[in-house]
Structure 1
């Protein structure tokens, strides 16, 4: 079976997962059929977000792109490298180690992610992710991220149409101004979904999904 695992969480700095934006969410971006809402709670100074779009491809093709670890560095923003630490295809669980390339003069980040894939009775595919505090040796060249949660969901709207939603929160750690971090939260999900659309427009056969998602 082709090596499949979640990749998109590598570039997302985001938050608590929920089915719709919070009541006080602000629609920060609405262009190119991509919407990004940002909001905050009392415990997190850094904004959370939800972003969504619709894609004119089969749901299997969209999910396959997110799961293709070998192809991720070619399109996922800020992803320097990634490797699979463990996986359990029957349970849909996996662990990843990834390095994120931050712009100079900021130090690059790394993190260990625990993820789980599932499909509900309505056919909605979900991928949930959470950073672990342990699982891989610390490297002094990087700032380790330990406060991250994120989610992807894929809802089939037709044979050639899928609704893609992503939610998240992350503390980027280190000396990053809060205003800069919050600006990143607004732009990053938009750029992620824009690049995802561009990548899916290229001719490519969809890989087979893990059995747990079929």
Structure 2
């Protein structure tokens, strides 16, 4: 079965799980048990975000949904295509090719993602992603994104409860008004976590994770 992180990245952004960006965070959305904070960096006009929620499912089930590349287009906002290029379960590394559907008249975007998954001594599972400049042929139908980073963190709170956090940044490239981009930054992570909840409610199947995450 082909699995790898689907990393909800249609708009995603750049912050590491351990260190949030400098500056004062703004709580942009707080509803349906989902919070989205946005950050402004003086060196980057595009906002960064952190979003989090608590899900009433085992941590394994939440992580498995993110890792299921074949099912990602069914629930990740604006994701048109995802293809697994390589994966090394022993190292916890993988590469993906993704196509993002942008609304007309904007051109769709594509990107190559290098990912790393790990589990620390406290049992927190992380998935970190960044864009690569090479690794898949250019397609004139798409605008290639090369400035992207995005992280996931999963913290077990109980047998049927997990805290899910996602962080990120992306330069969408091309001629897109900054105000439109920043509005997208606020809404996309909220929609993503909402859809994630809905998907997890559909199935209670036993989840099996890669050995490195057990």
Q: Is the structural similarity TM-score above 0.5?
A: yes
Aligned to 2:11: 12
Contact 1:9/1:129 (8 A) holds in 2? no
1:195 and 2:195 aligned: yes
| Cross-structure match for 2:123 | 123
Within 5 Å, give how 1:178-193 maps onto structure 2: 178-193=178-193
Q: TM-score, normalised by structure 1?
A: 0.96
Q: 1:205 to 1:213 in 2, by over 3 A?
A: same
**CA pair 177-206 structure 1, distance change in 2 beyond 3 A:** farther
In structure 2, distance between residues paired with 1:101 and 1:143? 11
Kindly provide the CA deviation profile for residues 158-182 of structure 1, in whole angstroms up to 9, marking residues without a partner as x: 0000000000000000010000000
Instruction: Show the counterpart of 1:151.
Output: 151
Match of 1:136 in 2: 136
Q: Which residue is 2:83 aligned to?
A: 83
How far did residue 63 of structure 1 move?
0.3
Unaligned runs of 5+ in 2: none
Following TM superposition, by how much is the alpha carbon of 1:121 offset from its aligned partner in structure 2, in angstroms?
Answer: 0.2
- SS of 2:156 mapped into structure 1: strand
Name the counterpart of 1:100.
100
RMSD: 1.2
Q: Indicate the SS of the match to 1:116.
A: strand
Cα distance in 1 for residues equivalent to 2:148 and 2:9: 10
What whole-Å deviation, never above 9, does each CA across 1:24-59 have from its counterpart, x for those lacking one? 000000000000000111211100000000000000
Conserved? CA contact 1:54–1:161, under 8 Å:
yes
1:47 corresponds in structure 2 to: 47
Mapped contact 2:129–2:151 kept (Cα < 8 A): yes
Structure 1: give runs of 5+ residues left out of the alignment: none
Shift of 1:21: 5.0
Q: What is the DSSP-based 3-state SS (H/G/I as helix, E as strand, rest coil) of the residue aligned with 1:70?
A: helix
User: In 1, Cα distance between the equivalents of 2:175 and 2:206?
Assistant: 41
Runs of 4+ in 1 over 4 A off after TM superposition: 20-23
Number of aligned residue pairs: 213
